[in-house]
Structure 1
Amino acid sequence: MDELSIKIQNATMELIMEKGYAFATTKEIAKLAGVNECTIFRKFGEKKEIVLQAMQQKEWHPDLEPEDFMDCQWDLEKDLHTFSKIYMSKVTSRFVRLSIGLRTPELAEYTAAGIMNIPKTFKEGVKQYFDEMIRKGYMDQEKDTEALAMTFLSMNFGFVFLKASFEDRLSLLTQEEYRRVSIAAFVNGIKK
């Protein structure tokens, strides 16, 4: 990918975070990228194509992978802390604002699967971890691992979403403080 295309993609994604897809015009994109509006159409054809190509770039796509859940100590609190830290390092406030900006009817069919892949990967990784904890005898067998994984995902996403939406106006808790208290409460509720 050439430098000019990257500048256009970055400008587009920044404007989408700030205004949403519909209000990020090609004229504003060109101005922010420092290019002529004709250059945008020559390189990408249309605004949607800029977004789709940008979503493939590491800068605009958290690379949460199933492998992120493989390095376990089989200590519930420590492992959940690690998973949460990985999630919050990759699913940043910036990414949350972008994903909100991308949820528009013009893009939904093209972006929904990519956006959903992140929470799906996290939920599945945590669920598999809980399943293995049960298999190893570290958790009760009657635990609903799907519900527990969704709860843990919701805890992490909720914190990141609220920080993305309100920054420190809602709470001054840091990620570390939030993880320490919320994970301890979560683990206490599901301990064997």
Structure 2
Amino acid sequence: MDDTSQKIIDAAMTLVRDKGYVATTTKDIAKLAGVNECTLFRKFSNKKQMIMCGMEQEKWRGNITPELFQDVQWDLQPDLEMFLTEYMNRITSDFVKLSIGLRAPQIYDEVAPLIMKIPQAFISSLIMYFERMEQKGKIPHSDFECLAMTIFSSTFGFTFLTASFEQGLVKTKRDDFIRKTVKTFVNGILNE
């Protein structure tokens, strides 16, 4: 990819993050990229193509894969802290805002499968981890899908609220949230 195309993609993704897909115009993209609007259309057929090219780049998507969660110690507290930390290291406020900006009917069908890979990777990795912990006799049997969904929902909720309101609504620092939340989950899992 040439530098001009990358500048256009970066400008488009930044504007969608900040304004939303519908409010982002090709004129705005060209201005932010520092190019003529005609240049946009020499490089890309339309705004949607710019965004889809951006979604293919790691810097514009939350790169969450099951491989990310392989460094386990088979100890519930540190392992769950690792899961939450790895998720929050990659699902930044910018990514959350971009995901919100992409919820326009004009593009959502195309980007939703890409965005859904993130919770799918997190949840499926947690389920597999819990199943292995049960096999090792370290946790009792439970509805591991429900448990993984609960942990994901809590993690996503904190990330979403922090991205949306910064410290205006969530006063708890990220590391404190992770430690205290995991402690609560560990107590619940082991005492079920």
Scaled to the shorter chain, the TM-score interval is over 0.9
Q: TM-score, normalised by structure 1?
A: 0.97
- SS of match in other structure, 2:104: coil
Deviation at 1:52, TM superposition (A): 0.3
What is the letter of the counterpart of residue 66 of structure 1?
A: P
Q: Give the alignment's TM-score, normalised by structure 2.
A: 0.97
Superposition deviation, residue 48 in structure 1: 0.1
What is the alpha-carbon root mean square deviation over aligned residues?
0.8
Q: 1:62 deviation in Å? A: 1.7
The residue correspondences of 1:40-189 to structure 2 (distance < 5 A) are: 40-141=40-141, 143-189=142-188
Q: Which ranges of 4 or more aligned residues in structure 1 deviate by more than 6 Å?
A: none
Segments of 5+ residues of structure 2 without an aligned counterpart are none
Partners of 1:128 and 1:174 in 2: how far apart?
29
> Which amino acid in structure 1 is aligned with residue 185 of structure 2?
F
Counting aligned pairs with the same residue, the percent is 48
Structure 1 unmatched runs, 5+: none
Structure 1: distance between partners of 2:106 and 2:43? 20
Separation in 1 of the partners of 2:187 and 2:26? 51
The structural deviation recorded for 1:171 is: 2.2
Helix, strand or coil for the counterpart of 1:138? coil
* 1:155 CA drift (Å): 1.0
The alpha-carbon deviation at position 172 of structure 1 amounts to 2.3
Give the structure 2 partner of residue 31 of structure 1: 31
